Amino acid sequence: MTKLRYTFKSDILFKLLFVKNPNLLKDLVAAILKTPVKSITELEILNPEMTPALIESKFCRLDINMKVNGQRVDIEIQITDEGNYLERVLFYWARDYSSALPAGQDYSLLPRTIIVSITDFLLFDCKEYHSFFQPLEVNRYTLLSNKMGFHFFELPKLPTKVSEDNSLLLWLSLFNADTEEDLEKINKMEVSVMSEAISAYRAITASPEYRELERLREKAGHDEAQALLHAKIKGREEGKAEGKAEVIQSFIKMGMPLEQIMRATGMTQKELKTLLDSTLPS
């Protein structure tokens, strides 16, 4: 199996793909909203920016915020659960919904606002890969308002077999692809929009623009992790081995390279191993 160097789970790649190919975005939105592509007469990306400064900023969120036939639709792909994810989604919905009303306008003009989350981690204790939430009365299940909607797509729950007639599952399978064989399997179905998306993927990942943005994102992540590591270690009681070991173990779990931990702590590989071994429960 040939692992992909870059996957669609990269939020940079995800956003570049659809900002540069709005026809592909329209097809994805139609599949999510279960509406014919031809019925989408308005699709405007409200945040197409992808500047180096944005990529390097702390807590950068590369979502795609749109106007779609008078609605507000926000799509985001998320690789890791950083905690309180559902609360974060609610916060972004509230911000998007409230900011859509110009000053002095009637509340009835607030648009339907839908948040779409595609996650590479599990969220709900169910077998379904797709969950859709709206506010309902808990006994009668009466809809309070259709202006609030949340779509969640959990990639780990996707079925292994996908039909070429299921546009939504094809898109999700593409986002879930980790190997060249995964891409080829989708390409062999000869679905024109999927072939176009894969061609766009190859063009983007080969471009200097994309590779520089990925380099900046990786550097920003390492810089932030190293600064946090310094701050945590400095904040611990001096000489407390358990505290240092706890911090080091947390960054190992995050995937921080051993060489970077050594630079940040000033410790050798042997010293790190000795410290971690000495604090392990017997």
**Interval 239-256: pLDDT, tens:** 455 667 777 777 776 656
pLDDT band at 89 (very low <50, low <70, confident <90, very high): very high
Q: Domain check: are 22 and 80 in the same one?
A: yes
Residue 5 lies in a domain: no
Q: Domain check: are 218 and 177 in the same one?
A: no
Greater pLDDT, 27 or 214:
27
Residues 6+ apart with CB under 8 A from 198: 174, 183, 186, 187
Residue 2 lies in a domain: no
Residue 27 lies in a domain: yes
Rounded to an integer, what distance in angstroms lies between the CA atom of residue 254 and that of residue 5? 19
Residue 161 lies in a domain: yes
pLDDT band at 9 (very low <50, low <70, confident <90, very high): very high
Q: Which of 207, 228, 259 is the last residue of a domain?
A: 207
Strand partners, 117: 76, 152
pTM of the model: 0.78
pLDDT > 70? residue 1: yes
At residue 183, the pLDDT reads 96
Q: Domain check: are 115 and 221 in the same one?
A: no
Greater pLDDT, 11 or 69:
69
Residue 3 lies in a domain: no
Q: Which of 175, 191, 207 is the last residue of a domain?
A: 207
Greater pLDDT, 255 or 140:
140
User: Into how many domains does the chain fold?
Assistant: 2
Q: Domain check: are 110 and 29 in the same one?
A: yes
Q: Domain check: are 202 and 220 in the same one?
A: no
pLDDT > 70? residue 148: yes
pLDDT > 60? residue 115: yes
pLDDT band at 267 (very low <50, low <70, confident <90, very high): confident
User: Which of 66-70, 106-110, 246-250 has the least mean pLDDT?
Assistant: 246-250
pLDDT > 90? residue 80: no
At residue 25, the pLDDT reads 98
Torsion of CA 28, 29, 31, 37, to 10 degrees: -100
Greater pLDDT, 275 or 91:
91
Average pLDDT over residues 46-68: 79
Please check whether residue 150 is in contact with residue 184, taking contact to mean a CB–CB distance below 8 angstroms: no
Residue 222 lies in a domain: yes
pLDDT > 70? residue 280: no
Burial 5-31 (b: 16+ CB within 10 A, else e): ebbbbbbbbbbbbbbbbeebbbbbbbb
Rounded to an integer, what distance in angstroms lies between the CA atom of residue 32 and that of residue 18? 15
Residue 75 lies in a domain: yes
Residue 232 lies in a domain: yes
Can you give the residue range of the structural domain that contains 29?
Answer: 11-207
Q: Domain check: are 122 and 38 in the same one?
A: yes
Share of the chain above pLDDT 70, in %: 82
Q: Domain check: are 202 and 222 in the same one?
A: no
Q: Domain check: are 27 and 152 in the same one?
A: yes
At residue 238, the pLDDT reads 47
Q: Which of 179, 207, 235 is the last residue of a domain?
A: 207
At residue 166, the pLDDT reads 96
Residue 179: helix, strand or coil by DSSP?
strand
**Dihedrals φ, ψ of 149, to 5°?**
-150, 140
Q: Domain check: are 264 and 143 in the same one?
A: no
pLDDT > 90? residue 195: yes
At residue 62, the pLDDT reads 83
pLDDT band at 227 (very low <50, low <70, confident <90, very high): low
pLDDT > 80? residue 257: no
Q: Domain check: are 106 and 19 in the same one?
A: yes
Q: Domain check: are 23 and 157 in the same one?
A: yes
Q: Domain check: are 148 and 242 in the same one?
A: no
Greater pLDDT, 227 or 157:
157
